Amino acid sequence: MGLRVTHGCWEGAYHSFSLFRTELAKVLKIELDDMEGFGGFVSWGPYRKHPITILLDHSDCDGVISWKDTRKVADALKFIRLDPRTPRAVLKRIRRAMILFERGLRRAYRAGEGVEFR
């Protein structure tokens, strides 16, 4: 059994999704294991200005990224993917997943729907 995020954002193993978010977090210089909700004690508060934290600090097994946030997260994924400061090694590992997640978020936005984690 794996994780499914609606609108084609994600369908696959929870472990793979965890690796995806861990790599994405590294771009922002965040060690996911140090964060609240991931076994650590570092608050998300200082990082909330970056919309990608909506995805990083989301449950990996339930809940919804709201319609109003889908576009913000999609834009953040695109920015990170195209930013020349993003390490090539990270992009090599997660570029395809970033594109698929971004496309799904944009589909949800156009439909006026949030994306649901199942």
Alpha-carbon gap, residue 90 to 26, rounded angstroms: 8
73 Cα distance to chain centroid: 7
Quick one: pLDDT at residue 98? 98
Which residues, in sequence order, are CB contacts of 36 under 8 Å at separation 6+?
Answer: 42, 43, 44
The CA distance from 97 to 23, in Å, is: 11
Whether pTM > 0.85 for this model: the answer is: yes
pLDDT at 72: 98
* pLDDT one digit per residue (tens) for the chain, 118 residues: 699 999 999 999 999 999 999 999 999 999 999 999 999 999 999 999 999 999 999 999 899 999 999 999 999 999 999 999 999 999 999 999 999 999 999 999 999 999 999 9
52: exposed, middle or buried (Cβ count in 10 Å: 0-12, 13-18, 19+): buried
